[in-house]
Structure 1
């Protein structure tokens, strides 16, 4: 049973934190405010008659950083911008050295500025952070002056106790301290309103937090997606339950209202899918919220009107939309893509007379974290310090590639490569291994041909491999009947995955047709499924390799959790390293697989 993380320590004296247990009721605003005051005051409003009625509050936000301290490589480090003439251009983006500069410049001249995040700050991180259990990322977020964040699903990758350590500090329980200084933990609170300890029946971490300045109060409620247990290992969520996002937010909005906090922002680690891929796509065209779909739409439509804005995440998509609340009034819903490539700048106009946000005045836009600004020196020093510690491990060459091996698309070249690596490793464990399946969500970055450091073009380093597969899942073998294997393929597009299909990446020899003109499980054409050219025999037994997360039924594949005769191997990165080392060299690099194992009909 995971231990309860202790309440967030209030170290930063310039931050006015109000925990759920300690927040006192606030009375009505002073009646002495002049009735004629109406001008917006961005600089404190301290004129001859006291503060103005309206005060603009800047809300800077981002989400899904995933420990990307250095500029992400390949497509993971680019955003698409829509041009006035309808064309698009690609912009290199991301890296905390640049994110820090952009956020600091954005705050200039704004005395009332809050920085918040929508979860997945850590987890699935590159080597510079993941090797050290994401302590470097927490240090970077402290330097970014992050005020508050919700938890995301990846905050639970290593379990509740480790999340508590990231919040409260202390050296790693098994690996100890990485430097001569004790890890201090986060200066900001992680909010987990809908994450309940089954033992205590209480939230694992603080459910909400209140920012205060000169009488201005803005409350934040943080939740992660209710389906977190479906996409995190069972060990990571052991002893926890995850409640409905809307019910939880509405519950704590009432709590804040009773305590006199009328301006409320929800930080929700769940998101949507805009119809356009450009970061500046207008998802309010033709009407409010018409250009975005996905779980966040229903959430936004049902969260109480007491909440004034929604900062979201999880889908790694960029959008700034207005979606009507249950009262039919427009409300801002934002997401800043992922990996620190964008940040959102929202203006919340606070009414001192009512203590609420004047929603008709809310403005918001996403901004690119371009790399044409000076690097923040303190972030450069942080990156250099941790890279020095990681270099002996990270710089080791593990293979060679002839071109970029990408990770996007229904079937990706990198997905096929990883599946092939797992099948090859599976055959080392058991020569009877037949096929391997890899979940696309477990592939966190492409392999890029251009050298990132001094290793040379085409060289794959251990650090790059770690960035691709950072979860330390084991490669497992299990027996499935042919009927079960067919069912697994159908679960890609049905059940929990029907609305957002998760197409498993197949090893060489497994082929079939995916007909997207059909619906549900029928999208997998059963008669087309072949293994090494032969039809799948429903009554035969097949030896299937997959990572331990999938083998446990994760990602909406319950049939994979029903396999028998389990055999557990080493971690998946070891399998990839062995495959690259055995099948590539400087003179004979691996070429990107053709990604032609699944025939897609649209």
Structure 2
């Protein structure tokens, strides 16, 4: 069959047009996130033991450190220049001395260096109260820790990243004290990051610092924001929550379905449009699913980072798929980023001169928080004894200490000598001692409160000072478990008054010990618990009886 010149020309033109046609655009966008939680001011690498899927035995490595974290992020940003780094709280607080001695200002600067965009506030961000949290965000030197604030640099400008807390409101105004969310854009799509802190923050921080604040339900705070966000054209939502869970699954299992803990009912009540929850607080590494929602956590201390991929429908703005994996940030696996490494070296050099100062020699290479007797520890005894000694000029007869306030073992250097930095790592919170009157009956009630709502499993028993002993039987009903209480070898008199020393956190009734708040004739000593500890170590060495040995007889005796 013959074709006319006109038909041939038309066919050629149509073929050419077909070759120039624009291929259909990708209907989705892939957004890469990296998540960090519970850094706790760990600017240096620390020892980390872990086992993943398929591992036959745990591995122990040095992991974290801002130099290595920055190196990993630099590598991943070369793969995706629009990568977003986000956090789930407790970036500061309960920090090693390298950060704590400078009011955590070096950690704020390091997080800015890492390119952190936003993070939820954690309970430890409230350790210094509302005032200090807002100073960390906005800068300035007016701090409840004047001996530490603006000492590393004369001017502290505050964080460039944003703290979020959708469920923390001023009781008088009803307004949040921090932004509830921040909308970020990557790959042409908008993503709303909504931040919350555990509603139980009131139980774990000093009441005086958060007076006038309400910590509301996390799920309610998140869900009520979605209409407002949708009105701004946002369809992708990520929750950054400082509340955690636990699982027997490995840190890198994709995806566990056995997550437990306080976080789970919160996630179950979230709007189904929320496909990703980045969590913290429980210091666990996991990648789990609760219903259709992926829930991640990257352990703590910078040991891990969570790498997360969001697939977003460009037309609707909704998240249609989530992928996640946890990566151990082992030293040597990523080259140290030069700027971060130089910052860390300068910080070490300046800090170590002060932190290396010897305090006292003790009896053993280390005094530990744990031990065969889970009810008390050698270090718990030591810290309670130190509180009692510091409180004696105010009439103290008994010293109490909460286990959660003892952050690390008391380590030593050569010759079993404790340095200032090692002592500060043990008691980093900057609490001060309060001495008060409590009746014998109140002390009995206080001891019984250790088992209320089974909280003893989480917080452990109070640590008690020399000369104070008691027995307990956990098989008996709540409120009737304690017996044979003795002070200085004399049975407790319910009607007598006793002088009790405790840190201000406990003295205000925190950690679910409301009986402490009922103490009268209070002496606000102003003595930091760190100072009481170092003074006690020095005194024991001078007396020729170095501290650190466990008592011959337990102070707390469990009746089996």
The answer to whether the 8 A contact 1:319-1:366 is kept is: yes
1:434 and 2:397 matched: yes
1:419 and 2:384 matched: yes
Q: Deviations over 1:52-80 (max 9, x none)?
A: 223332221111112121234xxxx4232
The 2-side partners of 1:120 and 1:331 are apart by: 23
Per the normalisation by structure 2, the TM-score is: 0.86
- Matched residue, 1:549: 505
Aligned counterpart in structure 2 of residue 379 of structure 1, from 308, 332, 340: 340
- Matched residue, 1:61: 35
The answer to whether the 8 A contact 1:465-1:577 is kept is: yes
Aligned counterpart in structure 1 of residue 541 of structure 2, from 574, 584, 589: 584
The answer to whether the 8 A contact 1:253-1:306 is kept is: no
Aligned counterpart in structure 1 of residue 127 of structure 2, from 157, 174, 178: 157
Give the SS at the match of 1:303.
Answer: coil
The answer to whether the 8 A contact 2:194-2:222 is kept is: yes
- Matched residue, 2:406: 443
Give the SS at the match of 1:91.
Answer: strand
1:406 and 2:376 matched: no
The answer to whether the 8 A contact 2:74-2:337 is kept is: no
Q: Give the CA RMSD over aligned residues.
A: 2.9
The 2-side partners of 1:519 and 1:192 are apart by: 39
The 2-side partners of 1:102 and 1:586 are apart by: 51
CA distance 1:588–1:148, change in 2 (3 Å): same
CA distance 1:101–1:447, change in 2 (3 Å): farther
The answer to whether the 8 A contact 1:253-1:307 is kept is: no
- Matched residue, 2:10: none
The answer to whether the 8 A contact 2:382-2:548 is kept is: no
- Matched residue, 2:324: 364
Q: Deviations over 1:99-118 (max 9, x none)?
A: 22233334441344221111
Gap runs ≥5 in structure 2: 1-20
- Matched residue, 1:489: 447
- Matched residue, 1:5: none
State how 1:151-190 maps to structure 2 within 5 Å: 151-172=121-142, 177-178=150-151, 182-190=155-163
Q: Please state how far the C-alpha of 1:233 moved relative to its aligned partner.
A: 1.7
Greater CA radius of gyration, 1 or 2?
2
The answer to whether the 8 A contact 2:252-2:326 is kept is: yes
The answer to whether the 8 A contact 1:274-1:283 is kept is: no
Aligned counterpart in structure 2 of residue 593 of structure 1, from 531, 545, 550: 550
The answer to whether the 8 A contact 2:448-2:479 is kept is: yes
Comparing 230-239 and 260-269, the one that deviates more: 230-239
Q: Please state how far the C-alpha of 1:599 moved relative to its aligned partner.
A: 4.0
Q: Please state how far the C-alpha of 1:142 moved relative to its aligned partner.
A: 0.5
The answer to whether the 8 A contact 2:427-2:530 is kept is: yes
Q: Please state how far the C-alpha of 1:596 moved relative to its aligned partner.
A: 4.1
The 1-side partners of 2:542 and 2:307 are apart by: 47
Comparing 479-488 and 533-542, the one that deviates more: 533-542
CA distance 1:346–1:282, change in 2 (3 Å): closer
- Matched residue, 1:564: 520
Q: Deviations over 1:280-305 (max 9, x none)?
A: 47882xxx2x2x32210111111111
- Matched residue, 2:165: 192
CA distance 1:529–1:59, change in 2 (3 Å): farther
The answer to whether the 8 A contact 1:404-1:592 is kept is: no
- Matched residue, 1:214: 187
State how 1:45-194 maps to structure 2 within 5 Å: 49=23, 51-72=25-46, 77-82=47-52, 84=54, 86-172=56-142, 177-178=150-151, 182-194=155-167
Give the SS at the match of 1:167.
Answer: helix
Give the SS at the match of 2:183.
Answer: strand
The answer to whether the 8 A contact 2:403-2:459 is kept is: no
Q: Deviations over 1:23-48 (max 9, x none)?
A: xxxxxxxxxxxxxxxxxxxxxxxx95
Comparing 133-142 and 463-472, the one that deviates more: 463-472
The answer to whether the 8 A contact 1:551-1:561 is kept is: yes
CA distance 1:190–1:579, change in 2 (3 Å): same
State how 1:462-501 maps to structure 2 within 5 Å: 462-495=420-453, 497=455, 500-501=458-459
How many residues are aligned here?
530
The 1-side partners of 2:467 and 2:544 are apart by: 27
CA distance 1:563–1:179, change in 2 (3 Å): closer
The 1-side partners of 2:64 and 2:302 are apart by: 5
The 2-side partners of 1:190 and 1:309 are apart by: 19
CA distance 1:515–1:272, change in 2 (3 Å): farther
State how 1:508-519 maps to structure 2 within 5 Å: 508-515=466-473
- Matched residue, 1:537: 493
